[in-house]
């Protein structure tokens, strides 16, 4: 009798588990359908951010009931982006932090990368470029592990675009070449997106960035050219919120030309879009400040005063409400980073002491190999040199003739200071640049090229000869590189860079 009771109980339990799992599967399908509905609505022109937030909250609630972690993760990721667009950075960072926990737990590296990128963009917006670079570097490392597809290209495009903004915020002097360098890298990724609609959306964003950069450099004609490109790429986009910046910049240009009435017309269009979409609220303060300038140009001092006060009020409100609410979180993050930095310093010090203990033989060997690596004074580059270079550059596989040929070609291009040197170098070492930028996203093109020459074991005299500059100039460049790469005085830049790429 007892046996029959146990068997019956087990059967009932299995039936319950079966129907419960079927019920959960049905609920998960329903949640996935909701996620698709929200994704479709995000691009619609009439979608309101708070309506989308309500939908994401519903997705999170339903997912939480059945412990559907993928659904909760998607809800948190979606809310973080919307709150960022509204410039509600405190809530955005809260959603990012919660989302990263889920992403790591279920090992969804794509979503994890997306959250890190959002975090990096937020830190850039609130003037914490150093924190932004850390998040973007971690995001880029995850993105590089993704298969080559449109999603990977879009993520890299966003990273490079944000890196360009970090350069702008970190330096007070003109750094247009570095900004253009990152914008061009992002533009290249965007240009290779296969979906025409998405490609145009990303290209329009980069066009706006170029337009803003040239405006800041007082190159009005170029700025207007990129504004025209933005308009061309954006003509079929349903959501017109990015036109907030388009009309704002058009207004600035008309102010510059002293066409104040036309400028006011553009600013009013920008303000109307801000109110319609309830995004980019900081831009409202910029528009009001620019409108005050327009009224000043028209001699209307009453309206000038009104809009100047409006601009100040928005700036003050943003500073008080957002900066204050972020202080605690950012201080905690900074403390974590500081502790990591201290640990890293201890690790480096320990490693350095170990190297010193191993010292004399090791460094003599390295020194001898460096002198023997490439005999350039007489133009010789033997197969033995190539084998050595391949080994020093971290190749674990056997050296092939093709690799030897690549290295020989790089040596010749470097010797002749050929403009195609770095292009060929990037083909041979495709991850070199990405890994350098993960250490410091503010490295310029020229600095990365010098790192490439160091990677190939060229010494200071050789680099000076190839680049047709003085030895002191190369030493200065190396000194700046050491600072940007956070190297200690005892660290060997050749050893450090040899491990990259």
Residues found in the chain = 501
Give the 3-state secondary structure of residue 487: coil
Is residue 120 within 8 Å of 85, Cβ to Cβ?
Answer: no
User: Any idea which residue has 């329903």 for tokens?
Assistant: 30
Query: Which residue ranges of the chain lie beneath pLDDT 70?
Result: 1-24, 42-47, 170-175, 318-405
376-380-383 Cα angle (round to 5): 120
Summarised one tens digit per residue, pLDDT across range 170-188 is 654 446 778 888 899 999 9
Return d(Cα 129, Cα 162) in angstroms, integer: 9
Q: How far is Cα 121 from Cα 92, in angstroms, rounded to an integer?
A: 11
> How much is the pLDDT for 371?
45
Backbone region of residue 218 per phi and psi (left: phi > 0; alpha: psi in -120 to 50; beta: other values):
left
CA-CA distance, 237 to 231, in Å (whole number)?
10
Residue-level pLDDT at 253: 94
As to burial, measured by CB atoms within 10 angstroms (0-12 exposed, 13-18 middle, 19+ buried), residue 188 is middle
What's the Cα-to-Cα distance from 365 to each of 252, 358, 371, 396, rounded to whole Å?
Answer: 62, 12, 10, 20
pLDDT attached to residue 44 = 58
**Phi, psi angle pair for 174, to nearest 5°:** -70, 125
Q: Could you tell me if 105 and 68 are in contact, meaning their C-beta atoms sit under 8 angstroms apart?
A: no
Burial (0-12, 13-18, 19+ Cβ within 10 Å), 169: middle
- Tokens 């350095």 -> residue: 352
Q: Which fold has domain 20-146?
A: 1.25.40
Burial of 415 (0-12, 13-18, 19+ CB in 10 A): middle
Backbone torsions φ then ψ of 221, nearest 5 degrees: -60, -45
- Neighbouring CB atoms inside 10 A of 150's CB total 14
> Boundaries of CATH 3.40.50.2300 in the chain?
417-499
If 0-12 CB within 10 Å is exposed, 13-18 middle and 19+ buried, where does residue 212 land? buried
Phi-psi region of 36 (alpha: psi -120 to 50; beta: other; left: phi over 0): alpha
Q: Please give the torsion angle defined by the CA atoms of residues 119, 121, 125 and 127, in that order, rounded to the nearest 10 degrees.
A: 70
The residues of the chain that CATH labels 1.25.40.10 are 20-146
DSSP state of 321: I
Q: Which residue has the tokens 């109980």?
A: 9
pLDDT score of 226: 94
User: What is the H or E stretch that residue 1 is in?
Assistant: none
Q: Which pLDDT does position 91 carry in this prediction?
A: 87
Q: How far is CA 49 from each of CA 4, 52, 55, 460, rounded to the nearest angstrom? A: 59, 5, 10, 56
Q: Which fold does the domain 417-499 belong to in CATH?
A: Rossmann fold (3.40.50)
- Percent of the chain at pLDDT > 70 equals 75
Q: Per residue in 283-294, pLDDT tens?
A: 888 999 999 999
Picking from 321, 331, 330, the residue whose alpha carbon sits closest to that of residue 86 is 321
Q: In which residue are the tokens 């590189």 written?
A: 481
Q: Which residue has the tokens 């360009």?
A: 164
Nearest to 111 by CA among 125, 124, 94, 98: 98
Q: Which residues 6+ apart lie within 8 Å of 306 measured at CB? A: 292
Axis crossing angle, helix 324-373 with helix 89-106, rounded to the nearest 10: 50
Q: Is the pTM of this model over 0.75?
A: no
- In the DSSP assignment, the letter for residue 467 is H
Q: What is the dihedral of CA 451, 456, 461, 465, to 10 degrees?
A: -90
Rounded Cα gap, residues 255 and 452, in angstroms: 45
């Amino acid at each position: 009798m007892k046996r029959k009771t146990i068997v019956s109980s087990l059967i009932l339990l299995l039936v319950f588990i079966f129907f419960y799992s079927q019920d959960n599967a049905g609920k998960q399908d329903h949640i996935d359908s909701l996620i698709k509905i929200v994704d479709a609505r995000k691009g619609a022109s009439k979608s309101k951010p708070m309506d989308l937030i309500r939908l994401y909250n519903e997705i999170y609630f339903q997912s939480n009931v059945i412990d559907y972690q993928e659904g909760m993760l998607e809800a948190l990721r979606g809310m973080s982006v919307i709150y960022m667009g509204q410039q509600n950075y405190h809530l955005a960072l809260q959603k990012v932090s919660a989302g990263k926990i889920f992403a790591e737990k279920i090992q969804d590296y794509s979503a994890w990368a997306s959250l890190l990128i959002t975090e990096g963009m937020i830190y850039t917006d609130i003037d914490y470029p150093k924190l932004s670079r850390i998040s973007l570097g971690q995001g880029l490392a995850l993105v590089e592990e993704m298969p080559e597809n449109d999603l990977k290209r879009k993520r890299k495009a966003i990273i490079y675009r944000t890196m360009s903004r970090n350069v702008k915020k970190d330096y007070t002097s003109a750094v247009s070449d570095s900004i253009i360098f990152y914008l061009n890298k992002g533009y290249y990724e965007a240009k290779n997106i296969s979906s025409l609609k998405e490609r145009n959306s990303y290209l329009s964003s980069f066009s706006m960035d170029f337009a803003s950069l040239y405006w800041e450099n007082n190159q009005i004609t170029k700025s207007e050219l990129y504004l025209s490109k933005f308009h061309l790429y954006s003509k079929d986009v349903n959501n017109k919120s990015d036109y907030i910046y388009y009309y704002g910049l058009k207004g600035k240009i008309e102010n510059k030309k002293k066409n104040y009435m036309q400028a006011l017309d553009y600013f009013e269009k920008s303000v109307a879009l801000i109110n319609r979409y309830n995004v980019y609220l900081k831009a409202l303060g910029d528009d009001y400040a620019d409108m005050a300038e327009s009224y000043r140009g028209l001699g209307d001092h009453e309206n000038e005063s009104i809009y100047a006060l409006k601009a100040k009020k928005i700036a003050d409100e943003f500073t008080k409400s957002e900066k204050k609410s972020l202080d605690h979180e950012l201080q905690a993050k900074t403390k974590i980073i500081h502790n990591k930095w201290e640990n890293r310093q201890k690790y480096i010090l320990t490693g350095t002491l170990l190297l010193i203990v191993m010292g004399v033989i090791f460094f003599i060997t390295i020194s001898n190999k460096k002198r023997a690596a490439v005999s350039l004074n007489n133009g010789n580059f033997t197969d033995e040199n190539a084998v050595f270079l391949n080994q020093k550059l971290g190749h674990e596989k056997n050296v092939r003739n093709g690799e030897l040929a690549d290295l020989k070609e790089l040596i010749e291009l470097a010797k002749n200071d050929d403009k195609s040197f770095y292009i060929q170098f990037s083909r041979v070492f495709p991850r070199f640049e990405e890994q350098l930028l993960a250490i410091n996203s503010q490295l310029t093109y020229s600095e990365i090229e010098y790192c490439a020459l160091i990677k190939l074991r060229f010494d200071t005299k050789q680099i000076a000869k190839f680049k047709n500059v003085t030895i002191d100039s190369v030493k200065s460049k190396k000194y700046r590189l050491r600072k940007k790469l956070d190297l200690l005085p005892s660290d060997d830049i050749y050893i450090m860079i040899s491990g990259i790429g």
